[in-house]
Amino acid sequence: MKGFRSRLRRALSKIGGTFGYIWHRGEGRFALIVLGIWLLVCIVAAFWTPESLDTSDGYNTWASPSPAHPLGTDGTGRDMLSWLMAGSGTELQIVVATCMLAALIGIVFISFTLARSALASEIAVVVTDTLLSIPIVLIALILAVPLGASLTVIIIACGVSYGLNLARIAKPQAVLAANSRYVEAARAAGSSRGRAFFRHVLPNVIPVMSVQLSICAGTAILAEAGLTYLGIGVPAGTASWGASLSASASFISIFPLTVVWPGALITIVVVALNLFGDSLRRAVDPVVNSQLRAAAEEVERGSGK
């Protein structure tokens, strides 16, 4: 129990140090503020929105911003602010589920590429490269045949594509860790290949994966907007930024504000996610972080003594 608490304290301290490093960078601070506001809006929208999502006023369509409707109304008289607030929760669901699926697929394919059997490793590499050549839109179209337009289509299509890309990017780091001396020592001490992978290889891959997943999160929001515009994304009646954008795109020259609001939200959040990923890479990657390099060299000198 004491060992678990000690590891938990070290992990929390490391996470706190990482976020502290991100906060002290201008772009990192911007990303954390935007993402914090996004999460806060998601929590508030789960319990309250200015207008009920079922409320629509057919006599007050395409209304300009006013005290009653701060962001105006859409083509059916629904309050834009309420729908964008509710849509933030939908985007968060897509991002979290997509990143979890991508991480799972990435870990599975990385483990297969490190398999003892050369045949299994080659098959994993060939399958990864083959599936990566399939566009997300085509995967979504195939899934939409049995599933119809749904969040599941977006999550599976994005999760599979990004997970395979994640495996390809993280593979060199995984191979380097798998061939390291401490993994060889663990294997010599009796650890199984699976135990060595999860205890020694995977922790070395997590920094690379976390950075790629933050970028994947922003791309998933863009994919949702594109797939919803094509009619194979978010189903009708579900609040999302992509749905609000696609419903108003045809009227951009007449009522531009109804496109500006969801478009601005998508742009700001995606930029924040990408900046967060870049700042996270600077915080956890010794190649670009001189403090981590110095700490690693100090540890190496201490172990040499």
pLDDT (tens digit, 9 = 90+) per residue, 220-274?
Answer: 999 999 888 888 888 878 889 998 888 888 777 788 888 889 999 999 999 999 9
Residue 100 scores a pLDDT above 90: yes
Q: Fill in the DSSP letter of residue 199.
A: I
Residues 139 and 193: their CA atoms lie apart, in Å, by 33
Which pLDDT value is given to residue 171? Answer: 83
Q: Structural domains in the chain?
A: 81-304 (1.10.3720.10)
Which pLDDT value is given to residue 17? Answer: 78
How far CA 107 is from CA of 89, 183, 230, 286, in Å, comes to 27, 18, 31, 22
Residue 85 scores a pLDDT above 90: yes
Over residues 97-101, the mean pLDDT reads 94
Which pLDDT value is given to residue 141? Answer: 83
The share of the chain scoring above pLDDT 70, in percent, equals 88
Tokens of 172: 């060199």
Which pLDDT value is given to residue 199? Answer: 78
Over residues 96-117, the mean pLDDT reads 85
Q: What is the gyration radius of the CA atoms in the chain, in angstroms?
A: 23
- The residue ranges of DSSP E strands in the chain, in sequence order, are none
pLDDT (tens digit, 9 = 90+) per residue, 124-174?
Answer: 777 777 777 778 888 888 888 788 888 888 999 999 889 888 888 888 888
* 263 closest CA partner among 279, 247, 282, 287: 247
Which pLDDT value is given to residue 303? Answer: 47
How far CA 154 is from CA of 10, 145, 245, in Å, comes to 36, 13, 17
pLDDT (tens digit, 9 = 90+) per residue, 32-70?
Answer: 999 999 999 999 999 999 988 887 777 788 888 888 888
Residues 56 and 28: their CA atoms lie apart, in Å, by 39
Report the alpha-carbon angle 297-175-212, nearest 5. Answer: 80
Q: What is the pTM of this model?
A: 0.87
Q: What is the mean pLDDT of the chain?
A: 82
